[in-house]
Chains A and B, each alone.
Chain A
Amino acid sequence: MASTLAIISSNKIDQRFALLRATRRKALVCYVTSGYPSEDQCLELLRGLETEGADIIEIGVPFSDPIADGPVIQDSSQKALAAGMTLEKTLDIVSRADLTVPVVLFTYLNPLLAAGPDVLERASAAGVDGILLTDLPVGADPDREKWLGDSDLAFIRLVAPTTPVDRMREIALNGSGFVYLISRLGVTGAQSSLASDLRETSDRLRSATDLPICVGFGISNGEQARAAASAADGVVVGSALVKAAGESIDKALSLTRSLRTALDS
C-alpha cells in the first residue's frame, strides 16, 4: 500500500522512492555505526554522505551482542559502546545532523525495548523516518510488531534467500518503506562476489510485493553495487563504509562517491 500511496505519503522514505522512480535512478542506502569512529566524526560522516549522494542513511545503534553482524560492524559497535554510545545519544546525533535525506534507525530489539514505550515518538521527533530490527522477524512478537507498525516510522522488514515466497508476501504486507533483501546466507560483511542466486531471489520477492526492494549484505564496491541494483530498486552498503570510515571519513566519502557514480552510470 505504501508504494501506491508514495506520491502522497508524508513519509520521507516513500517520497524518496517516488522521486527515484520518476528519475529512473537506483537508491543508494548507506549504513553507519552510530558514534563510530567518534561522535564528531560520525556527525561529519552523516552530513558528508548526504552531500555525496546517499538517498537513505541507516544509522546503527551499537549492541553488545550483534548476532547478525560480521567482524567489521561488531568491531565498530564495540568501540562505539566503549566510548559511551547509546540509543538516546544516537537520536541526539540524528537530530543534530538535521539531514534532508531520510534516516532509518537500525537496531537490535533489546536496546529499543530498554528505551521505553515512547521511544518511537522520540525517534520520529529527532528526525528518524524508518526503523529496522535485525532480530524481530515477521510473526515473532505480534504485540511489539503492532507497536512498531502503528508508529509514524516506516517499518522496514528483511527477506532472506531462505524465505519462501508465501512468507515474502506476509513480510511485505507487514512492512513499509522498502523491503531489505539480504543478498546471501550469513552475517554482514564485504564479500568478493555477489551470491549467484541473487537475481532469482529478487525475482521471487518482486512477484510478492510492490514495495521498493533494496539489496544488502556483502556489497563493497561500485561494480557490485551496479550488479546488485540491476536486480532491485537500490542497494545497501554497510561494512565497506564502516571499514573505510575507520581509516578516514574522506575514504568513506570517496567510496560513497564511487558507488553513486556506478549506480547512475
Chain B
Amino acid sequence: MHAAPEKTMTAISTHDRFGPFGGRYVPETLIPALDELDSAFDSAMADAEFVRTVDEMLSTYVGRPSPLSDAPRLSEQVGTSVFLKREDLNHTGAHKINNTVGQALLAMRMGKRRIIAETGAGQHGVATATVCARFGLDCTVYMGEEDIRRQSLNVYRMKLMGAKVVPVSSGTKTLKDATSEAIRDWVTNVNDSYYIIGSVVGPAPYPRMVREFQSVIGREAREQMLNRTGKLPTAVVACVGGGSNAMGIFHPFEDDRDVKLIGVEAAGHGLESGEHSASLLRGKPGVLHGTLSYLLQDGDGQVHPAHSISAGLDYPGVGPEHAWLKDSGRAEYVAVTDEDALRGFATLSRLEGIIPALETSHAIAWVIDNASRWIKSDSVLICVSGRGDKDMAQIAEMGFLDR
C-alpha cells in the first residue's frame, strides 16, 4: 500500500518542495538571503572539513552519540520491547542543540556573527544561546510574553549565557508571534544577521537543512537498534510540534518500508475541543512563516491559535515534509491530549527513572495506550526528545503529585 506513493514522493519532491508542500513564501527582501543560505548550506555539507567540525562539536560538546536505552518495566507494561533514544541526555537537555551547532557553524562560515532565533518553550532559545556563547556570537532571542511567564527558568539560562531575550507582545504572545518578530528582525538586518530557525519549518532551505542537522538522531538510532536487536524496529514514534525531532529520527528510516513512522501531535483539550495543536490531523493546507503546510486556520484564512500543555508543541503549523509524509502515506499521525500526556510523563518517570519533557510525554503516552497494536516480538523505538526538568515548576504548580 505504501509503495506507490513513495515512488511519487521521489518523483515530485524537489530542492525546496516536499510534494506540493514547502517553498519560499517570504517578502522579496529575503529572497537573495535564502538563495545565499541555500548554496552556502549545500557547499558546507559537501565540504568534509565542515562535516568533520560539526561531528566533533556533537561529540565533544553535545555528548553524542546519545545512548539507546532499553526500558524493561515500560516494555513489560506495553507487552513489547520499547527502546528510548535519549536526546534528553544531550547538553542543554534536548535535541534542539543538534541543529543549533550545525547552523551556528554555517553562520560563521558565511561570515555572519549576529544570530537571531525564536523560541517557544525556551529549549531552542537556550540551545542557540549556548552555541553563541561557545562561539562568541551575538545572540538575540525572540520569545512571546506568555511563554516568558511560563518558562522563566529558560529565560534566566539564556540571559546567563549572554543572550538578549526580546519579549513579544503581539498576537497570542507565544511561539507563532515570536517567529514573526524574528522574521521581521531578519528582514531588517538581513545583511549581517543569520536567523537560526529551531524546527523543520520556515522557508526553504530551512526545513531540509534542519532535518539534515537533526538526522543524526535517526542515523545513530538505526545503527544502535541493529547492533542491539539485530533488526530494525517495528515502529519509530516521536512527538510533533514543528516536527524537528520527529524528522530527525524518521528520515534515516524512510527507505526502510517495513518500519512504521508514527508522529504524535498534541490534542490539547481534545481534537473536538478546538483547543489543540494538531495541525496535521485537524488543519488545512495554508501558508505561514514562509512555508506551505498543514495549518490551523479559520475559514477566512486567519491562523487559529494552537493549544498544548507543552509549550514546545504549541504551534499552529507543522514542517512541510511532515505534511507530505502524511499525504503520501509514509508516516501515520496521531494525537494525545494534555491529560494523557501527563500520564505518560508520570509513567516513564516511575517505571524507568527518566523524567521526560512534556513534549516527549505525548509519544510515550501514545505507545502505552496503543499496546494492543504490538506483539511481543515487535520493537518500538521512541525518541525522548528532551528531559522534563524545564517542566517541573509547571507540574508542581498543578499540584500533580497530590492528584
Contacts and interface: CB of A to CB of B under 8 A. Distances in A.
Interface string B17-30: 00000011111111
B161 interface: no
A88 B24 CA distance: 26
A45 B292 CA distance: 35
A53 interface: no
Interface in A38-71: 63-68, 70-71
Interface residues of A, number: 43
A163 B289 contact: no
B171 interface: yes
B32 A186 contact: no
Among A65, A109, A167, A187, chain B packs the most CB atoms within 10 A around the CB of A65
Nearest to A62: B302
Nearest to A66: B180
A208 B184 CA distance: 28
B301 A158 contact: no
A65 B180 contact: yes
Interface residues of B, number: 36
B399 interface: no
Interface string A97-113: 00000000000111111
Contacts of B26: 67, 135, 137, 140
A105 to B, nearest CB: 14
A87 B301 CA distance: 9
A68 B187 contact: yes
B353 interface: no
B190 interface: yes
Interface string A127-169: 0000000111110110000000000000001111111100100
Contacts of B190: 162, 185
A111 B301 contact: yes
Nearest to B203: A140
B29 A67 contact: no
A111 B24 CA distance: 17
B170 A64 contact: no
B309 interface: no
Interface string A156-196: 01111111100100010000000000100111000000000
B274 interface: no
A22 interface: no
B28 A182 contact: yes
A81 B302 contact: yes
Contacts of B302: 63-64, 81, 110-111
A48 B295 CA distance: 38
Contacts of B30: 162
A7 interface: no
Report, nearest first, the 9 A-B pairs whose CB atoms are least far apart.
A114-B301, A111-B301, A186-B188, A160-B29, A110-B301, A64-B302, A64-B303, A86-B300, A160-B28
Interface of A: 63-68, 70-71, 74, 78, 81, 86-88, 108-115, 134-138, 140-141, 157-164, 167, 171, 182, 185-187
